[in-house]
Amino acid sequence: MLIAHVLRDKGAAVHTLPAGATLEEAAGELDQRRVGSLVVVDENGAIVGVFSERDLVREVAKRGCAALSDTSVGEAMTRNVVTAHADETVDEGLARMTDRRVRHLPVVNAEGGLIGIVSIGDLVKHRIAAAEAEAAAMQAYIATH
């Protein structure tokens, strides 16, 4: 199964924000959108980072509640963005997430343009569904032979 299949099933909506947003604004977006991360983009829509709940917690732990209004997303975001391509397999995405210890992969096209995002939960859900379908097919085959 490909990451493209996951995007097809979940949709390609990606929630973004600019690096100049405050942590308070980012926290509001995370809550309103009910997501665990936001892709940080520049004025041209290019990916410059990922801002996650972890990033928020780390900054508040370091600087206290004042960080919410005094710190920009650009200061707190993860800059080394780990991405995926739609033609990669779910297993490749899961392996990359495990290796790099990330929970979200922005999905980019060949030119690096943002086309979606997948979470580890999205990929695990599809991996389980594939395993269940395979098991059901095996059971059906065994039952007819």
- For residues 110-124, give the mean pLDDT: 93
- For residues 69-97, give the mean pLDDT: 96
- pLDDT band, very low/low/confident/very high, at 7 (cuts 50, 70, 90): very high
Cβ atoms within 10 A of the Cβ of 115, count?
15
pLDDT at 89: 96
pLDDT at 25: 97
Distance CA 62, CA 72 (A): 14
- For residues 39-56, give the mean pLDDT: 95
CB 95, CB 120: distance < 8 Å: no
Tell me the domain boundaries of the chain. 3-144
Q: Is 19 helix (H, G, I), strand (E, B) or coil?
A: coil
102 vs 133, more confident? 102
Distance CA 80, CA 74 (A): 12
Flag whether pLDDT at 96 surpasses 90: yes
CB 74, CB 47: distance < 8 Å: no
- Fold topology of 3-144: CBS-domain (3.10.580)
pLDDT at 80: 93
- For residues 92-103, give the mean pLDDT: 95
- For residues 90-119, give the mean pLDDT: 94
